[in-house]
Amino acid sequence: MCGIFGYIGDKDPLKTCLAGLEQLEYRGYDSTGIAGIAEGAISTYKEAGKLSLLKQKINLSRLDLAIGHTRWATHGKVTYENAHPHLDSSQSIALVHNGIIENYDSLREELKSRGIPFLSETDSEVIVQLISSHYQGNLVDAVYKTLPLLKGAFAIALIHKDHPDQIVAAARESPLAIAYNDDCTESLISSDQNAFLGTSLNVLFLMGDEIALIQKGAIHIFDQALQPVEKKTERFKNDYKAPSKEGFAHFMRKEISEQPQTIQKAFDGRFTPDFEPIGISLEELKSMRHIWILGCGTSAHAGHIGAMYFEDLVKIPSSCDIASEARYRDPILGPDTLVIALSQSGETADTLAALREAKKQGCRILGICNVQNSTLTRETDGSIFLKAGPEVSVCSTKAFTSQLAVLNLLALHLSHIRGRLSPALAVHYVDKLKQIPSHIQQVLDQAADIERLAQKYAAYEDFFFMGRRYMFPTAQEAALKLKEISYVNANGCPAGELKHGPLALINPSFPVVAFCANIRTQEKILSNLMEVKARGGPILAFAPQGLNAVADVADDVFWLPPTIDELSPFASAIAGQLLAYFIAKERGCDIDQPRNLAKSVTVE
């Protein structure tokens, strides 16, 4: 998603702004730009490409202040004209935007009817032209008059050539943070607080059409009625370590290798019956009659597995919905529904929108997240942190297995407090859970074997990934890994569904990757393998040691450390991650920043 950065203070605004944009690159983007004020005029540089190309273009003396942007295209192609910042037709105002203006088309037509020309295809340019049309000397007032006209989500920062002492910002549903030092002599604005890494500043977050007037020495915040408001601030202290690949070729490969340690961190201090305070009382947790999990992409796959944990261990109805669908359903919710919002970034717009709908129905909301102070953690009743450390690669890996670890521990905790967990089962389950880091290490130690398999299957353009019960969401997740970094048509399929249609696609050029580690359904998965083999489909199976019958059917087998069904997704996920990584590497893809994707999807 788009990244916004702005700076006003005693340091060099241009250098500081470019450094801030560098911190946002990990999110994925396709174009970038900066704007500043020098000698009473707006200076703008844009690039329909990476920041490194933009830097080569910039030939600027010192700016009074600067705003910058990394664009992930939503409206309009990747072109110079569509890159931000956008200027109004009088070249007086420069604006950067993250979000989507849903009524931009009608607004643009109305502005065009007044003779206002447009240079880009973007919704963002409509905002700056509207503000300009309301400007009569006071930039805050012009923004105030504009916001009610906008439908949708936005975070904006803007400057005016006649006000070289101020940056104005505003936000609705899209994240926007303002970080400032104690005497307010310098302020940073960003849509992602990762841009503040390495600083020790006070941070406040704009929301609900609030407007900020940011100047050296003072920050004024106004609510949507233009009344001054005092915002709660938090201390953002981060001993910044530039994310490093630590010798690996890609962040993804490094983050895959970290998982024995990151899972251990997710476990630390939580193997107690009382778990940890999660912001929802024991009484409420005991009274819950339904658990509803929300998430997108990888987080949704973890959520589907988590729903099975809760049904198996806590014995209450549990389900998971993809957040972008959940918010348009009319689910039967209420105070006895525990809603769990899963999100690595804590900024996914669809997940935030769905949890806001659930909140309106009186549900208690628990967030499971990897980023402290993210929007999710500010909007839920309680949060559990993954403690997986920054996940830089767009492709989520360690966050997934840490989500599973936390969901397991939460299910054990709920099962314990509701008297569902016998001491014997608790000991047995915890013992198996504690073996998981070493199981994952075993798979990592055999990465070369998976790389050889990847080289054999790298040329195929189509795959089904199939599994049953715990292995179906696991298969979906492995398919997503391959799809998003190698651009191969890989899709998850319930193994039992194959004969209801998908089997028609199977042929010698359409392999199946089978996840066979769910013991309860092992006979059935073997039958499914036979169905595929009978149609000539190549089969790569990930199977638990001991399930030897798989070797009689599959063309290739990678043997996994055996465990209980509930915990089988861990090692299988690692194998799927490595398979995707090595196939993408073999195909020469951009693994950490795949095309068209972003790390934090802050638009709906």
Bridging pattern class, strands 364-369 and 337-343: parallel
With CB under 6 A as the contact rule, the residue among 351, 408, 476, 568 that binds ligand AGP is 351
Q: Is 237 a catalytic residue?
A: no
Tokens standing for residue 529:
């393998």
Sign for the pseudo-dihedral over CA of 225, 226, 227, 233: positive
Nearer to ligand AGP, 3 or 13 (CB): 3
In whole angstroms, what is the distance from residue 229 CA to residue 111 CA?
A: 32
* CB closer to ligand AGP, 270 vs 301: 301
Token couple for 565: 């069904």
Structure tokens at 367: 């967030």
| 533 in active site | no
Q: Is 298 in the site for ligand AGP (CB under 6 A)?
A: yes
Residue nearest to ligand AGP (CB): 297
Closest-CA residue to 532 (of 507, 515, 568, 551): 507
Cα–Cα distance measured from residue 172 to residue 228, given in angstroms and rounded to the nearest whole number: 17
**Least Å distance between CB 341 and ligand AGP?**
9
Here's the x/- map for ligand AGP, 252-291, by CB under 6 A: it reads as: ----------------------------------------
Query: Reading across the β-sheet that carries 512-515, which strands appear in turn?
Result: 489-494, 462-467, 512-515, 539-544, 556-560
- Pull the structure tokens for residue 140: 């805050």
Distance of alpha carbon 93 from the chain centroid = 32
Please identify, using beta-carbon distances, which residue of 190 and 343 lies nearer to ligand AGP: 343
345 binds ligand AGP per the rule CB under 6 A = yes
x/- contact string, 325-344, with ligand AGP (CB under 6 A)? Answer: ------------------xx
Active-site residue, selected from the candidate residues 2, 296, 320, 369: 2
Check binding of 583 to ligand AGP (CB under 6 A): no
Provide the edge-to-edge strand list for the sheet that holds 66-71. 41-47, 31-38, 66-71, 3-8, 187-190, 177-180, 200-205, 234-237
348 binds ligand AGP (CB under 6 A): yes
Strand, helix or coil for residue 229: coil
Asked if 299 interacts with ligand AGP (CB under 6 A), we say yes
Using DSSP, state whether 64 is helix, strand or coil: coil
Of 355, 350, 298, which is closest to residue 324 (Cα–Cα)?
350
Q: Does 297 bind ligand AGP (CB under 6 A)?
A: yes
| In the complex, least distance from residue 463 CB atom to ligand AGP, rounded to whole angstroms | 17
Number of residues that bind ligand AGP (CB under 6 A): 16
Binding residue for ligand AGP, selected from 24, 444, 478, 601, defined by CB under 6 A: 601
Q: Which stretch binds ligand AGP (CB under 6 A): 232-240, 296-304, 547-555, 569-577?
A: 296-304
Residue 395 sits in the site that holds ligand AGP (CB under 6 A): yes
169 is an interface residue for ligand AGP by CB under 6 A: no
- Which residue's entry shows tokens 């693994």? 591
Q: Is 484 in the site for ligand AGP (CB under 6 A)?
A: yes
Smallest gap from residue 119 Cβ to ligand AGP (A):
31
Nearest distance in Å: CB 600, ligand AGP: 6
Q: Among all chains, which residue has been given the structure tokens 């194998």? A: 575
- Asked if residue 336 lies in contact with residue 434, where contact means CB atoms within 8 angstroms, the answer is no
Provide long-range contacts, Cβ within 8 A and 24+ apart, for 104-111.
Answer: 104/75, 104/152, 107/149, 107/150
Asked if 394 is part of the footprint of ligand AGP (rule: CB under 6 A), the reply reads yes
Which residues contribute to the site for ligand AGP (CB under 6 A)? 296-299, 343-345, 348, 351, 394-396, 480, 484, 600-601
Catalytic residues: 2, 599
